[in-house]
Amino acid sequence: MREITPGYTAEVSVTVTADKLASAVGSGSLDVFATPMMAALMEQAACEAAAPFLEEGETTVGTELSIRHTAATPQGMTVTARAELLSANGRELTLRVSASDTAGEIGSGTHKRFVVDAERFRKKAEARGK
């Protein structure tokens, strides 16, 4: 892992389609952007923020996510998630995450990711299934 630059940010966006609604993913009965989809988008932004600091063969895995989903987004709107690297404690990265639609912020929180050797991690996970 290369030296982390606190303050580094990344953003990712998605259009809210039928497959991303709470009613479709089972996290509620309403046709609004699902909280699990917001969480996944935040994690995607966090992965993007961490990527420039990884060495060959490294990746990150999520270890903690503490978020609030504070506003509903209807189908058809675009949601953008943003992640900002706050700090690194050894291989543990702490990020601030947020999500907004065209009307404003819809959620925020913190996220922790851990830098791992991808192949070693994969082998360890496969061994659990045996």
Domains of the chain: 9-128 (3.10.129.10)
Catalytic annotation, pick one of 43, 60, 73, 84:
43
Q: Report residue 78's pLDDT band, with 50, 70 and 90 as the boundaries.
A: very high
Catalytic annotation, pick one of 69, 84, 94, 111:
69
Does position 118 have pLDDT exceeding 90, yes or no? yes
* Backbone angles phi and psi of 18, in degrees to 5: -55, -35
Does position 8 have pLDDT exceeding 90, yes or no? yes
Give tens-digit pLDDT for 17-54: 999 999 999 999 999 999 999 999 999 999 999 999 99
How many C-beta neighbours within 10 Å does residue 86 have? 16
Structure confidence at residue 107 (pLDDT): 98
* Catalytic annotation present for 43: yes
Catalytic annotation, pick one of 11, 35, 58, 92:
35
Six token digits for residue 8: 């580094």
